[in-house]
Chain A
Amino acid sequence: MKKFFQLLLRNRLAAAGGVAICFVVILALITPLLPLQAPNVTNTANRFQPVFAEGHLLGTDHLGRDMLSRLLWGTRLSLAVGFSAAIFAAFFGAAIGIVAGYFGGRTDNVIMRGVDMLMAFPYILLALAIVAALGPGLVNALIAVAAVNVPFFARNIRGVTVGIAHKEFVDAARLAGLSDTRIILTEILPNVVPVIVIAMSTTIGWMILETAGLSFLGLGSQPPQADLGSMLGEARSALITNPHTSVVPGVMILIIVMGINLLGDGVRDALDPRLRSGALTRPMAATVVQRKGAVPAPHAGGVLTMTDLETQFHVGPRIYKAVNKVSLNVAPGECLGVIGESGSGKSVTALSVMGLVASPPGVIVGGSIRYKDEELIGARYTTLRRFRGDRVAYIFQDPLATLHPLYKVGDQLVEAIRVHHPVSRAEAWKRAVELLKQVRIPNAENRASTYPHEMSGGMRQRVGIAMALANDPDVIIADEPTTALDVTVQAQILSLLDDLRRERGLAIVFITHDFGVVGQLCDRVAVMYAGRIVEEGPTDAVLAAPAHPYTRRLIACVPELGEGRRRLEAIPGLPPAVDRLEPGCAFAARCTKKEAACVTREIELARAGPRAVRCLYPETDLSREAAE
């Protein structure tokens, strides 16, 4: 709750709206206590006094009544009506929506058909007809406005309820023999309430406008009672001669509705869990670079070389050091594996290369990434764009999410080609089909015209690979490309990649959490933990004799073929949060070999021949191994 208000106040616009609304509401509440003139006493000789007239701060209306007094009393009434209409509509709408959504089937069908009917009826006419049937008066106008909004609430809440009604905890409650009423009240309702509150907060303003609209049509409050709508309606005939009589209530409506809308947006944003985490921000075209120090010299050669790369996530006051001084390199025809648990920073490292880390919150704060001789960190966007997909291509995990769902795969390939090469569409299409054949998609001509959702997971990933190959790149960065696939498909994809690398002399950076995959494909492997490289070396050597305790544990996670049961040795504990790293070894907390020295100072990555390890007490003595 405290968090909610903090978030609300952090949103400056919402806070302004909240303040405006509070001010208006307080003013409305204390109106009876204020030394105002009687709102309904007429003095026709004194009519149409201008704003700031003596004795009448806001002037007088067409019957000589004090505008200020009527404005405040009118605001009081309009607010009350707006709020009550919203509550009525929300209550009945939510009740109908929950019943329809919870029971589903025929009940749902019948109710939603009814809602459809009401929504097809122009709502102002419905309101008008209701008022005509009930007779004039503000209460009836309120009923009408509330009634016409019930279908909107019902539809909205039903959608949410349907989602919840099929969740496990509801099924569990059903199995436990709870009555439907109990389930609705104790399981469904609490989950729907935030949605109702959001819908209501955004509706109140609308309600006030609609009630004003009905009053404008002469169907609102009865004279002499003032509400903002009827003030506007009555003043309308004098709009040209005495505009202030309409502008005053008009502006008040504007202030209230704007305030409510601002506040409502704030409430919605504050209640939205994604916004809390800052996840609803739009990633920019390239990751923001805020380099602190100088550009380090490349630590090694190769077609792609990263040196002391530092990528962070800045979320509010927190700084997550996702990639902490990582240096890697890959040569043409070589396959480098980068392995680690999720959250170890391996994907961020990969995405940093072409500036694809979502920004905000991602920021590259230091290091160097070189493609051949070109520095990529801090390069102009046009340079980055020129390399993206052309020289350095990506293959992502979960191709269902990474392929555009609404374009045919052929078109997505065509685009990849035509972004970099000025060829005709037909030619590009031919090339696309060619690519699909190269990744061994059967019946490629036809498959090019299908949508991603019409393909199997393996096929989709082949499309992803084809797309990466489209422009014959020098480097392919494959970010867990096989994680979502089953084992046989995985094997096919890996052998495909392996073939391609040999045929074309591709450099591959292969990101994974699975040593089994690394073993099949990679020449070298780098192990990441908490944003750092903890071990690096030729795959065979590392697999045969891991030096870092973490590496050893990771290898132990791989199921051995031929064993009757898979013996998966999970690593106890969780990786540390990278926003508050302790000095020393980040793995120390989970390490069985932890000593006091492990957590007192920074531990260097100790190199010995082709291998390196960041551990004071390695499992294998690398210097001795190197000497041998």
Chain B
Amino acid sequence: MTGYILKRLVSAIPVLLGITVIVFLIMAMIPGDPATAILGSYATPENVEKLNRDLGLDQPLVARYFIWLGNMLTGDFGRSFALNRPVIDEVLDRFSATLVLAGTAFILCAVFGIIAGVVSAARQYGFADKAITFAVLLGISVPSFFLGMMMILIFAVKLRWLPVSGMFAIYGGGDLPDLLNHLIMPALALAVVATGVVARLSRSAMLEVLRQDFIRTARAKGVGERDVVWRHALKAAMVSIIPVLGIQAGFVLSGAVYIEMVFQWPGVGRMLVDAILKRDILLVQGGVVFVAACYVLFNIAVDVAQSLLDPRIKT
């Protein structure tokens, strides 16, 4: 197993290098420069040119790439132009917030998506199945930002049950109940679409598995229906559900951008959007590489989980 993990880690290196190239090229292609963002309304072409020189942006592209890459390998992600702060500090700060949001949403979507899918499959064509199928369809058809806005309007402004936005109470607070309070709406809004996708997939994976011969074997042994569905069938269905969870993790991470904007969550998605708009090159590059690396690692973890679940996979 250790060998397998190592092998997967090594094979992730070219992917990550490729990502550094992609993000670097994209940032180089985007017109406009950080100087305008730093200098604000008062950016004259002259000042912009001078500042670009100070920032080292007048050097050739290839040189800039290797300087950046070299620095990054030594742990130096550079300084954000716009925030006047080391990139790594900002990214860690913001990524931890995204992790809380996206992680919760991911767990919600996995737990509820799988439960809904299993129930739906076990009660195929029954009332529960129809209700779940409809709810799931509704869920994957609503733009998450619209849903978020509506939730704010109803639960925060009209009913005043929950705080409108932010991650912690702005003064005092900072404990777990406070976080939960702030987390409920954004995590739900973010989880809805992914829950729908997971539920749909779990349902069809379960239907597929429930027709298998080994399910008949379990029944022939006299195993109760609940165990047949939740142990025998679900365990086998997980083999096709887990890779989807891996993909959904990516979607949740991406979808967090909208939710972070609507709910003012201090996360990395919103930071990257801002950074792209402000041409904060080093922050975008550092942030994207960090996020992508986490995503790649997560996918390796998914594969490892898969191989632990399914002994037939050669490791």
User: A–B direct touch, CB within 8 Å, in complex?
Assistant: yes
Query: Do A113 and B311 touch across chains, with their CB atoms under 8 A apart?
Result: no
Q: Which residues of A contact B138 (CB under 8 A)?
A: 254, 258
Interface residue A118 (Cβ < 8 Å from any Cβ of B):
yes
Complex partner residue of A283 from B215, B217, B253, CB under 8 angstroms: B215
Shortest distance from the beta carbon of A461 to any chain B beta carbon, whole Å: 12
Contact A416 B221 (CB under 8 A): yes
Cα–Cα, bound, A566→B217 (Å): 35
Does A19 sit within 8 A of B, measured CB to CB?
A: no
A30 at the interface (CB under 8 A from B): no
Q: When chains A and B are docked, how far (Å) is the Cα of A420 from the Cα of B224?
A: 10
Residues of B within 8 A of A543 (CB): none
CA distance A415 to B208 in the complex (A): 23
Find out whether the CB atom of A453 lies under 8 angstroms from the CB atom of B29: no
Interface string of A418-455 (1 = CB under 8 A from B): 01100000000000000000000000000000010110
Q: List the A side residues contacting B288 at CB < 8 Å.
A: 121-122, 125
B117 at interface, CB cutoff 8 A: no
Please give, as numbers and ranges, the residues of chain B lying within 8 Å of A406 by CB-CB distance: 235-236, 239, 309-311
In the assembled complex, B14 has its CB within 8 A of some CB on chain A: yes
Across the two chains, which residue of chain B brings its CB closest to A130?
B26
Given A358-B211, A388-B222, A419-B222, CB of A122 within 8 Å of CB of B254? yes
- On whether the beta carbons of A419 and B215 are closer than 8 Å, the reply is no
Cβ of A26 within 8 Å of any chain B Cβ, yes or no, is no
Stretch in contact with the other chain, from A60-68, A166-174, A236-244, A336-344: A236-244
CA–CA, A402 and B217, complex, Å: 6
Interface centre among A351, A387, A407, by most chain B C-beta atoms within 10 angstroms, is: A407
User: Which among A285, A404, A420, A451 has the greatest number of chain B C-beta atoms within 10 A?
Assistant: A404
Could you give, for residues 119-153 of chain A, a 1 whenever the CB lies within 8 Å of some chain B CB and a 0 otherwise? 11111111011101101000000000000000000
Give the contact stretch, choosing among B47-55, B181-189, B289-297.
Answer: B289-297
A352 within 8 A of B: no
Q: Is the interface of A mostly helix, strand, loop or mixed?
A: helix
The stretch of A211-219, A292-300, A326-334 in contact with B is A211-219
A85 interface residue (CB < 8 Å to B): no
Are B222 and A386 touching (Cβ within 8 A)? yes
Q: Are B273 and A128 in contact (CB under 8 A)?
A: yes
Determine the interface band of chain A, counting residues with CB < 8 A from chain B. Answer: 35 or more
A271 interface hit (Cβ, 8 Å): no
A118 and B143 within 8 A (CB): no
CA distance A121 to B253 in the complex (A): 10
Q: Smallest Cβ distance from B48 to chain A, in angstroms?
A: 18
Interface check A393, CB cutoff 8 A: yes
B residues lining the A interface (CB < 8 Å): 14-15, 18-19, 22-23, 26-27, 29-31, 121-122, 124-125, 133, 137-138, 140-143, 145-146, 149, 153, 157, 204, 206-208, 210-225, 228, 232, 235-236, 239, 250-251, 253-255, 257-258, 261, 269, 272-273, 276-277, 284, 288, 291-292, 295-296, 299, 309-312
Apart from the given pairs A117-B15, A405-B310, 20 other A-B contacts in the complex at a CB distance below 8 Å: A113-B15, A120-B15, A122-B250, A129-B30, A133-B30, A213-B145, A217-B273, A232-B146, A240-B157, A246-B146, A261-B141, A282-B206, A286-B219, A385-B222, A388-B220, A389-B222, A396-B217, A403-B214, A415-B223, A454-B311
Sort A-B residue pairs by CB-CB distance and give the 6 closest, nearest first. Answer: A388-B222, A389-B222, A257-B141, A389-B221, A117-B18, A401-B213
Q: What are some 8 contacts across the A-B interface (CB < 8 A)?
A: A120-B15, A124-B257, A124-B273, A243-B153, A250-B142, A253-B143, A358-B211, A467-B221
